[in-house]
């Protein structure tokens, strides 16, 4: 993993018994080293979209959402997008639920939120591209969003367009403010990636793309407890 990954991620992996190799670079550099080592050692690579199982697991977020909302999906889903597996998986889940006749044809508008310091999907979406270009010098406090080029970028973009959704980038300052706001008002201490969805929502409401009266779901993908150093540094 990248050398500047949150320290708790490194320690947690070690606690599980992993041999952790730290890479001077981004997650794409770590993945490149993994691919090379896997070929040499005969490993099975289970990183994002290299195998089917994670996507099958991620789609159950769509199942749970439909069940908890009494089989009526929301108008808008706002999702933090690094590798984007959750976004792709939920859309697959909705297709399956509709085929089963468990939900009507109505689908949510899917929104991809990225950090302004690493927003390849946002750029590609608004430029009408089918794939994203690698983001140069990617930098953001949200480690999970610091993915300069997602393997499934073409699938993410397809979901956004099929759902009549959009993509939005937010700054690190907006993310930090959203972390505090979610904790204070909702009792949810989100990771920066999850907080980015609130920052993106506020931006899209201000722009008139989302009506505040719509049914909106934000996905928080982790805990802020792994990022306490960010808030301590800005008090």
**CA 61 vs CA 52, 76, 148, 203: distances in Å:** 16, 15, 25, 25
Q: Are 93 and 60 in contact (CB under 8 A)?
A: yes
158 and 192 co-located in one domain: yes
Instruction: Look at residue 27 and tell me if it is in a domain.
Output: yes
* Average of per-residue pLDDT values in the chain: 94
pLDDT tens digits, one per residue of 205-216: 999 999 989 999
Task: Please say if the pLDDT value at position 25 is more than 80.
Answer: yes
User: Predicted confidence band at 55 (pLDDT cuts at 50, 70, 90)?
Assistant: very high
* Percent of the chain predicted with pLDDT > 70: 99
Instruction: Look at residue 46 and tell me if it is in a domain.
Output: no
88 and 175 co-located in one domain: yes
58 and 21 co-located in one domain: no
The contacts of residue 153 (CB under 8 Å, 6+ apart) are 84, 120, 121, 124, 131, 132
**CA 54 vs CA 89, 124, 234: distances in Å:** 9, 25, 35
Instruction: Look at residue 117 and tell me if it is in a domain.
Output: yes
Instruction: Look at residue 103 and tell me if it is in a domain.
Output: yes
Instruction: Look at residue 222 and tell me if it is in a domain.
Output: yes
User: Predicted confidence band at 154 (pLDDT cuts at 50, 70, 90)?
Assistant: very high
Q: Where is pLDDT greater, at 232 or 116? A: 116
34 and 61 co-located in one domain: no
| Residue 101: alpha-carbon gap to chain centroid | 28
28 and 134 co-located in one domain: no
Instruction: Look at residue 182 and tell me if it is in a domain.
Output: yes
Instruction: Look at residue 1 and tell me if it is in a domain.
Output: no
211 and 104 co-located in one domain: yes
86 and 140 co-located in one domain: yes
> Taking the complete model, does pTM exceed 0.85, yes or no?
yes
Q: What CATH number is attached to the domain comprising 82?
A: 3.40.50.1100
| Mean pLDDT in residue range 57-61 | 96
Which H or E run contains 168? Answer: strand 166-170
Copy the structure tokens of residue 28.
């794409």
Task: Please say if the pLDDT value at position 81 is more than 80.
Answer: yes
Burial class (CB in 10 A: 0-12, 13-18, 19+), 137: exposed
Rounded CA separation 183/12 (Å): 24
Q: Where is pLDDT greater, at 52 or 217? A: 217
pLDDT of residue 233: 66
Task: Please say if the pLDDT value at position 235 is more than 70.
Answer: no
Task: Please say if the pLDDT value at position 181 is more than 70.
Answer: yes
32 and 105 co-located in one domain: no
Instruction: Look at residue 47 and tell me if it is in a domain.
Output: no
81 and 31 co-located in one domain: no
Number of domains in the chain: 2
Residue range of the domain that includes 36: 7-41
82 and 192 co-located in one domain: yes
pLDDT tens digits, one per residue of 96-144: 999 999 999 889 999 999 999 999 999 999 999 999 999 999 999 999 9
């Amino acid at each position: 993993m990248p050398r500047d990954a949150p320290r708790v991620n490194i320690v947690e992996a070690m606690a599980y018994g992993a041999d952790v190799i730290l890479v001077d670079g981004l997650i794409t550099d770590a993945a490149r080293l993994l691919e090379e080592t896997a070929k040499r050692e005969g490993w099975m690579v289970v990183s994002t979209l290299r195998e089917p199982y994670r996507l099958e697991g991620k789609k159950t977020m769509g199942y749970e959402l439909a069940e908890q909302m009494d089989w009526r999906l929301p108008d808008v889903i706002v999702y933090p997008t690094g590798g984007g597996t959750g976004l792709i998986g939920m859309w697959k889940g909705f297709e399956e639920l509709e085929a089963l006749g468990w939900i009507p044809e109505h689908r949510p508008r899917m929104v991809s939120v990225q950090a302004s310091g690493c927003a390849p999907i946002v750029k590609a979406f608004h430029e009408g591209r089918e794939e994203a270009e690698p983001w140069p010098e990617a930098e953001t406090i949200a480690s999970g969003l610091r993915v300069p080029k997602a393997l499934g970028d073409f699938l993410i973009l397809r979901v956004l367009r099929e759902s009549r959704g959009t993509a939005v980038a937010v700054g690190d300052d907006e993310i930090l403010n959203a972390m505090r706001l979610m904790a204070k008002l909702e009792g949810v201490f989100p990771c920066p990636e999850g907080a980015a969805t609130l920052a993106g929502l506020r931006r899209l409401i201000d722009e008139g793309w989302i009506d505040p009266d719509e049914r909106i779901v934000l996905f928080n993908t982790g805990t802020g407890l792994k990022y306490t150093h960010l808030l301590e540094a800005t008090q």
